[in-house]
Structure formats: C-alpha cells, structure tokens
Amino acid sequence: MSKESLAIRARFSYIAAFAGIGAALYYILLWLPGVPVPGLPQIKMEIGASLAPLLGIILGPYIGAIAVLVGNIIKSLTPFNPISLVFVPCAPLSAFGAALLITKKWKISFIILIGIMIASLFMPPFYPVTAFDEKLGMYVWQVYLLAFYDKIAALVLTPIAMDLIQSNTKLRKGVGLFLIMFIGRELDKALGCFIAAIPAVYENVFMIKSLRRIRLAFVTPAIFSPIEYLIEAVIVFVIAIPVIRALLKVPGVSETLYIKNVREQKII
C-alpha cells in the first residue's frame, strides 16, 4: 500500500474517531438540565441541542451532522421518546448549516431555510395565509409570522454574518461567528416548525386534533421566544469560544478537522 493511501486511511480513521467522540459528547450534552426562561420557569431552554452548530463548525457539515444525528437517535431511544424521535433531523440540519456558513457557503443554508419556510406555507396550520381563524381571532398569516419571525430574521442576518466574518477586525469576526451559530440554530427551529405542522405529527404524536389548538401552539411561544433565544445564544457562544480555542491548540486537530477553517480565516 502506498504512503498516500496510508495517509488517506489514517486521516479517515482520525475523522471517524472524532465523529464517534462527537456523537457521544452530543448524547451526553442532551442530558443537561434545561435552563428556565425568566418569568416562565415551566419553559426550559435546551442548551445541549443548542450546541449542534458548534459540532458542525468543529467536524464539518457531513461528519458533524452525522455525529449529531447519531446522538439524537440514541437519546430518543433510551428511553424511547416518540416526540424526540420525530424531531431527530432538526439538530443535524443545524450542524450542517453552521458548517457551511463558516466557510461562506451561505447560499446553500439560505436556500434550505427559504425552502422550509415556503413548504410550511402549505401545511394546514398556515394554509391559506389569507384565511381568518374566527376561533383564534387572528388571520392565518399572523400565525405564520409569529411562528417564523425569528427564522425571517435569520435570513436577513445571513449576508450580514458573511460580511462580518470577512472583515478585518476580531470583534466583527466574533459577532459574525455568533450570528452563524444563531442562524444554524434557526435552521433547527424552522425544520421543527415544519415537522410540527404536518397533520400526521400534530394529530398522532401531539394528539392535537383541531387547527385552532395547533395554531395556538405556534402563537404562544412567540411571547417568550425573544428572551429565550437571546439567553440561549449567549450561553452557547460563551461555551463555544473556549472550546474552539482549546481545539485549535491541539496538534493535528486544527490541521485535520473542519475547525481549521476558523483558524485560516482568523476568526478567533
């Protein structure tokens, strides 16, 4: 076997090992207790799931997404949780999107997010948008806006994040990294909204049989979402910075893993 083939096999084994470690780490993170939202202690932020974009930035769009997917599946099956199992694809998409954004391949994440939002328009809770829900006392487009306003914000912030990442100052680059992790998380939330809007899901998994109730389920979180997202983003960013810095100092890691893009672009 040639030296080149041995090098490729060694690199593949190295990455596969880190993928396994990433899956195990993410699984452990999912067991972290949620952080209560101020004023609404019954609502808890999932800090473990919020770190999915970080794994994407460290391991890359494919290995990172696979690691998160494996961790999610194991967590959903031990013990079996049908609700968690339904939303298994969400966090891997978050890791995938963040990894693409860190290398400025923002158009792919942008298109995916737009695609999810457009597809959601044709789900029963949001269709037709011009209809008026008399029981809820709202137009359907208002329900859609309350469910997706933060995702719309992520779309607007995507080109801004790319501009900041390419700037010449550490502060602007740091803000760009913060926005990338926020946008990655919004991909997760957007897919989650789409899945929750599928009749088979809200009728058979959540046992919600009326459109009014499922629409109300989308409207209610909008009251506390801004506080939740802000605190969640800050906590995750505070965790991410030292983790990235530490990994960049490990010989071999910063040259082999996807995290090398952070170093090459001098983001941190």
The pLDDT tens digits of the residues spanning 65-92 come to 998 999 889 888 888 888 888 999 999 9
Q: Is the pLDDT of residue 36 over 80?
A: no
72-109 burial, b for 16+ CB within 10 Å, e for fewer? bbebbeeeeeeebebbbbbbbbbbbbbbbbbbeebeeb
The dihedral of CA 219, 109, 164, 51: what is its sign? positive
With beta carbons less than 8 A apart as the criterion, state whether 37 and 79 touch. Answer: no
Spans of all domains in the chain = 3-264
With beta carbons less than 8 A apart as the criterion, state whether 150 and 189 touch. Answer: yes
Q: What band does 7 get if pLDDT is binned at 50, 70 and 90?
A: very low
35: tokens are 């952080």
150: tokens are 């933060």
Among 25-39, 81-95, 149-163, 209-223, the minimum mean pLDDT is found in 25-39
Mean pLDDT of 151-159: 94
pLDDT in the model for residue 152: 94
Mean pLDDT of 147-151: 93
pTM of the model: 0.88
Q: What band does 109 get if pLDDT is binned at 50, 70 and 90?
A: very high
* DSSP-derived secondary structure letter, 212: H
